[in-house]
A and B are shown apart, each in its own frame.
Chain A
Amino acid sequence: MENIWKTYQLGSVGVTALRGVDIRIEQGEYVAVMGPSGSGKSTLLNLLGCLDRPERGSYYLAGQDVSTLDDGQLSEIRNKKIGFVFQSFNLIAQLSIVENIEVPLFYQGVRRHRRRKRSIELAGLVGLGDRLEHHPGELSGGEQQRVAIARALANDPMILLADEPTGNLDSSTSDEILAVFDELHRQGRTIVMVTHEQSVAQHAQRCIHLRDGLVESDGPCGGDHVDR
């Protein structure tokens, strides 16, 4: 509940994506992770999202050491404490909007009617209350990303992870989506967003720059360039 710790080191024969990254993210923070491609942003996000385990080092999520958990336990953590928003939306094409939003609840074992109620609520929250039975293919990119956000919120996550959420969107829809994130931040959500656009990162309070698997800079995202 309180805070998120991240002490991390990774070294391997092949590509070493992260070589000793130490970060600490407090609850309610809005963090942008930046850096050129290959700097380890995505790897960091995967680790934060418990999709992967660090090779060395440890990761404390709400005081719990996550790096020692097995696959099943990690799934459970992802299911209950983490919300994902992907660059390519990653909605399930065969499922309708409501059904997509329901997926995390499905794996929590929430009963059908309660699941449905919650997902309709969330669809309304992101402004898609009238397209419940549509399928992802029938929506625009911006709308799809809203669905993805609603899905990420379905489990009331501790931390919301976004991997270049505006990467596939034009600038006006990007602004809409970023406004949604701003709103979520105001409501007290913890958000970690990977991006390489300075304009996007400026919505965050804090910017972490990565380069070659190391933290290059960590500080508030001021109006201007961030230096050391």
Chain B
Amino acid sequence: MSWTFKILDILRLGFHSLGVHKVRSGLTALGVFIGVCGVISMLAINQGASAEAQRTIQALGSDNIIINSVKPPQRVQTGSSGGRGALCYGLTLADVECLREAMPGIVRSVIVHRTLKYAYYNGRNLPVVVIGTEPAYRYVVKMNLAGGRFISDADVLRHKPYCVLTLGLAERLFGFVDPVGKCIRIGGEPFVVVGVLTRLPQSLLAQTGQADNYAIIPITTERDRFGEYTVMWTKGSAVFERVEISQVIFQMADENAVIDGVAVARNVLPRTHAEMDYETVVPLELIEQKKKQMFLWNVMLVTIASVSLLVGGIGIMNIMLATVVERTREIGVRRALGAKRLDIVAQFLVESVVLTTIGGAVGIVLGISFPWLIERFLGFPTVISAWTLILPFLMAVLVGLVSGLYPAMRAAALSPIAALRHE
């Protein structure tokens, strides 16, 4: 019991001594304060960026495996392939069928065929990305409706000329008119707008590098109207490309199924594809990579910010050493009056720890407000988690302990007689 009172007393004594030199104590604590503030801010900003990136990847669906058709690199270089007809590449229905059988744990799979067309309504003509797909697309890509409905199985079955527009496209095409039920032309063909999606997930934009201008139509209709060929005009000569499937998305049961599935896909596809005319995108892997990368960033930023903590610690050690010299007489008196070595160590240690703790506490308060201001006025996302607060605070306390220890030991090592004689 008595030692708890003693600790309280020593704490009180520490505050008292620090209070005597308010400016000096304040300036000393400033070093720690800046360090703590810096660590918290840097972590908050980095975590904010990290969370944003992860959200983007997550939007792709962490349980998805996405396989895209890509133009094989060799042929990109050659450009036009000498009029030998169409350029054929990419995934085929046969591939999808094959993968479906080979990969365990598939919940759904969705195929996509993409073409570039112009959409026309009431005098406005805008470029659109036409996505021919199946109703399940909505669940796999996680889109939400702002109005109307999504394409249905019946639409696919009956090759209906229905389309669902993304919000950005709808706004540009229709202005303030409600697009649902209106008729537009896409690539010259008439389509009825049946639904509008909410703002597109960042993922799709990032992935395709496209603006928010998608028109989603039943895949059957897409094939009927636009076919598998695309024509590109370069310098007056036409290049034909034939792509059966632009993209296939497999939604897997869980993360293990994703890992297994990717392995299978990477094993199976090369057997039918001589060239790399496809790419597999695995959000789960991307997330892992991102996490690793962000961890490294965290380590680096914390290290940088720790330097200021270290400098603050040296400052404290310096001041405490000066204090010990200045108060040698006091130490002698205290020793003569019965203070043990440990009491003296405790007294000086408590002073430095109190100093860094106060610095740390103020640093936390400002470390919280600074990222908040950044988020508020610069719109940069920041995340403050419990450990981003606890870690710098503990570091500050540790700095106090370490930098206070040496001066405190020096103080205690003084012989009482020498200390008393000190002028």
User: What residues of A have a CB within 8 angstroms of the CB of B415 in the complex?
Assistant: 52
* Interchain CA distance A75-B332 in the complex, whole Å: 12
* Interchain CA distance A103-B335 in the complex, whole Å: 10
Which of A49, A91, A108 is within 8 Å of B336, CB to CB?
A49
The minimal Cβ–Cβ distance linking A22 to chain B, given in whole angstroms, is 22
B339 close to A (CB within 8 Å): yes
The minimal Cβ–Cβ distance linking A96 to chain B, given in whole angstroms, is 10
User: What residues of A have a CB within 8 angstroms of the CB of B329 in the complex?
Assistant: 90
Contact with A along B155-176 (1 / 0, CB 8 A): 0000000000000000000000
Which of B9, B337, B343 is within 8 Å of A151, CB to CB?
B337
On chain B, which size bracket covers the interface?
A: 20 to 34
* Interchain CA distance A173-B300 in the complex, whole Å: 68
* Known contacts A51-B416, A51-B417, A52-B417: A78-B2 contact under CB 8 Å: no
Which of B16, B343, B417 is within 8 Å of A94, CB to CB?
B16
* Interchain CA distance A71-B17 in the complex, whole Å: 26
User: What residues of B have a CB within 8 angstroms of the CB of A111 in the complex?
Assistant: 5
Beta-carbon nearest neighbor of B339 in chain A: A107
Q: A2-10, A79-87, A204-212: which one contacts chain B?
A: A79-87
Report whether over half of chain B's contact residues are helix, strand or loop; otherwise say mixed: helix
* Interchain CA distance A52-B333 in the complex, whole Å: 14
The minimal Cβ–Cβ distance linking A118 to chain B, given in whole angstroms, is 14
Which of A72, A92, A108 is within 8 Å of B333, CB to CB?
A92
Which of B9, B330, B343 is within 8 Å of A92, CB to CB?
B330
Contact with B along A53-81 (1 / 0, CB 8 A): 00000000000000000011001101110
B287 close to A (CB within 8 Å): no
Say yes or no: A107 contacts B5, CB within 8 Å: no
User: What residues of B have a CB within 8 angstroms of the CB of A109 in the complex?
Assistant: 2-3, 5-6
Q: Which of B10-26 contact A (CB under 8 A)?
A: 13, 16-17, 20
A174 close to B (CB within 8 Å): no
Contact with B along A22-53 (1 / 0, CB 8 A): 00000000000000000000000010010110
* Interchain CA distance A26-B257 in the complex, whole Å: 93
Say yes or no: B341 contacts A94, CB within 8 Å: no
* Known contacts A52-B417, A109-B6: A94-B20 contact under CB 8 Å: yes
On chain A, which size bracket covers the interface?
A: 20 to 34
Contact with B along A193-220 (1 / 0, CB 8 A): 0000000000000000000000000000
Beta-carbon nearest neighbor of B333 in chain A: A90
* Interchain CA distance A72-B333 in the complex, whole Å: 15
29 contacts between A and B (CB under 8 A): A46-B417, A51-B335, A51-B336, A52-B417, A71-B341, A72-B340, A75-B335, A75-B340, A76-B338, A76-B340, A78-B335, A78-B337, A79-B338, A79-B339, A80-B338, A90-B336, A90-B420, A93-B330, A94-B20, A103-B337, A106-B13, A107-B334, A107-B337, A108-B338, A109-B2, A109-B5, A111-B5, A151-B337, A155-B338
Apart from A94-B16, A108-B338, A109-B6, what 12 extra A-B contacts exist at CB < 8 Å? Answer: A51-B336, A52-B417, A75-B340, A75-B341, A78-B336, A78-B337, A84-B337, A90-B329, A90-B333, A90-B420, A91-B333, A92-B334
Residues in A lying within 8 Å of B, measured CB to CB: 46, 49, 51-52, 71-72, 75-76, 78-80, 84, 86, 90-95, 103-104, 106-109, 111-112, 151, 155
